[in-house]
Amino acid sequence: MDTCKVHENASKCSMNTMECFKVLSTQAQKISIATLCSLFGTLCILENSLVLYLIFSSARTRKKPSYIFISSLALADILASVIFVCSFVSFHVINESNFSKGTFLLQLWGVNTSFSASVSSLLLTALDRYICIVRPSEYKLLMTRKRAWVALGVLWVMCATIASLPLLGWNCCTLNSTCSQLFPFVDEKYLLSWICFVMVLLGCIIYIYTYVLWRAHQHVAYMEKHQMQVGKQNTTRMRMDIMLAKTLVMVLTVLMLCWSPVLILMIYSIFARLTNHLRKVFAFCSTLCLLNSMVNPVIYALRSKELYSSLRMIFSQFRRQMKASENNPEAESTRKSSVIDT
């Protein structure tokens, strides 16, 4: 039987209510959550930082709108990982007692903004692939570097604004309305609105990629049939576009698999009463968001030839430097003598 009534109005909003959302009751559960968050969060930050470095270290990739959108996705994943791990572990594992309404809603703003920006970056990437494959002759005119940055700026501002609504007053304590069963101080209607916003973004992405892959399949079939007429260069270019489109579909698939349990439980909480067991399940499913952010860079490295080539070049340079250091005994003796002098 539940010991806390979390589905209540603003008259019950208090610090005691915060304790009702700390659903991890055993030390084993807390250690498991802390381990998952630390592992996924650390790998996510390292991998996405590497992706950003690979993109911006090359003049060729950092000028392409496709990689500008991917860098936005990597940045959003880094921010989400840092904010999510710090706030989630502090709240559920460390059980900090200084969580106020403003502090919690500010952290929630950070997580919602970064995740919404991540999905928005995927949407822009999908549009980029759509224009590249459906209207290739006009791609460079329609998708310029300036337009890519402007589109990203508009979407980041929009995501930050929507995520800030609870902080600005759309919360159950201020409005004396029904509170969410999963998040303290969050109004149920706002939660439903945010879910609808994310679902619309995901629906648009699924539709665009379905159409893009269908057109890409048609192009491949045509070019294989008329390979002698169209030339080898055009065939290679089309295959690269199709490979990138398939890569982004893999990213979207991972996104859906990782976030579906969380979104389903959010929707279920609006229409039905949640038990403590389901809220514990929600806490563990939330770590799948970190898994999603951790897997995305791996997909880029394996599927993007340009990023993979840059990564191999970096490792090759590092290995050459190591071999040069090992094969140069004079430099090694100089280094040792300097260490001794120090």
| Confidence at residue 58, expressed as pLDDT on a 0 to 100 scale | 81
Going by the DSSP 8-state scheme, the letter that residue 10 receives in this structure is G
For 223-281, write each residue's pLDDT tens digit.
Answer: 666 654 555 555 565 666 666 667 767 777 887 888 889 889 999 988 888 888 888 88
Instruction: Classify burial at 77, counting beta carbons within 10 Å of its beta carbon; exposed 0-12, middle 13-18, buried 19 or more.
Output: buried
pLDDT band at 336 (very low <50, low <70, confident <90, very high): very low
Does domain 26-224+246-309 bear CATH number 1.20.1070.10? yes
CA pair distance 262, 280, nearest whole angstrom: 12
Give the Cα-Cα-Cα angle 251, 257, 260 (nearest 5 degrees).
125
CA pair distance 155, 134, nearest whole angstrom: 24
**Can you tell me which residue has the tokens 């209510």?**
17
| Confidence at residue 341, expressed as pLDDT on a 0 to 100 scale | 45
Q: What are the C-alpha distances in Å from 110 to residues 57, 66, 160, 161, 296?
A: 28, 25, 8, 11, 20
Structure tokens at 302: 């394996």
Give the pTM: 0.81
Contact indicator for 177, 9 with CB cutoff of 8 Å? yes
Phi and psi for 171 in degrees, rounded to 5? -140, 160
For 4-31, write each residue's pLDDT tens digit.
Answer: 555 444 445 554 467 777 777 788 888 8
pLDDT band at 98 (very low <50, low <70, confident <90, very high): low
Q: How far is CA 201 from the centre of its chain?
A: 14
Average pLDDT over all residues of the chain? 80
**Three-state secondary-structure class, residue 186:** strand
Helices (H), 99-164: 101-134, 139-142, 145-163
Every domain of the chain and the residues it spans: 26-224+246-309
